[in-house]
Amino acid sequence: MKKLILLLSGFIMMSCSVIRPTPKTALVDGIYTQKKDQQKRKVYVDIEEDVLRTHPTRLLSHQLIIDSLNASDFYPQEIKEASSEKSFFSKQSFDIDFLTIPLKYRFPSKDVPSQLNTNLNGAVYLGYRVDKYVVGYKPDFLSRSLRNITHYGFSFGLFNGLGNTAMNPTTNFNGISQEYDGVVWNKGLAGILAINNFTVGLSLGIDNLLDKNKKVWIYESKPWVGIAFGLNLN
């Protein structure tokens, strides 16, 4: 059990060290789909210290060409009048996360009622991600409007990892007499929702006990629902 905790702790520390300083919650330079005035188009977003510019793109011989000499939109950091104008930018990407699942709801099994478990669980998550950014302006008390960017993200995919679970006569239908923490292999599906810096996920999975008592464990391959939190690795 101590080895499992050390392994997961080390993985979390390594995960933190490889996260880039520009996470997916931030609007950074790159190609996006822009929606403005009910029209969609591919643009290149160029962000400098005081201004956000968009450059039009076009397809030429199956290659996306950026018109770097002409900017189609300007979004300065500050404007002197009120503005209700908003522009929406979105992009799709492949998502790699390290998930922790601190809460698992286990459904009733045999004579044991439903359980809410708080065991240690860690998993690698692979999924498809959509990020959307809303660029607009918010007025302040000095009759100015400051640029404001709101981020929304959603990801759906698969996870695979390790965790631990309490092993005792109750959870083994009196198949064992001792009590110990068993190591489980957890896997399943997860959906992750992000709003600015707040991220939370919902997971649906199964556990397989990695020792000889899996034949008497009442939760072997039984579905559970959990709350997940993630660290983005790419």
More confident position, 84 or 102: 102
Q: Which residues contact 42 (CB under 8 A, 6 or more apart)?
A: 31, 32, 33, 34, 57, 64
For residue range 120-163, list pLDDT tens digits in order: 899 999 999 999 999 999 888 777 888 999 999 999 999 999 99
Q: Which residues contact 174 (CB under 8 A, 6 or more apart)?
A: none
pTM score: 0.79
- Burial tier of 60 (Cβ tally within 10 Å: 0-12, 13-18, 19+): exposed
Tokens of 29: 């330079």
Instruction: Label residues 84-95 b or e (16+ Cβ within 10 Å = b).
Output: eeebbbbbeeeb
For residue range 16-54, list pLDDT tens digits in order: 333 344 467 889 999 999 998 888 999 999 998 789 999
Q: Which amino acid is at 89?
A: F
More confident position, 182 or 3: 182
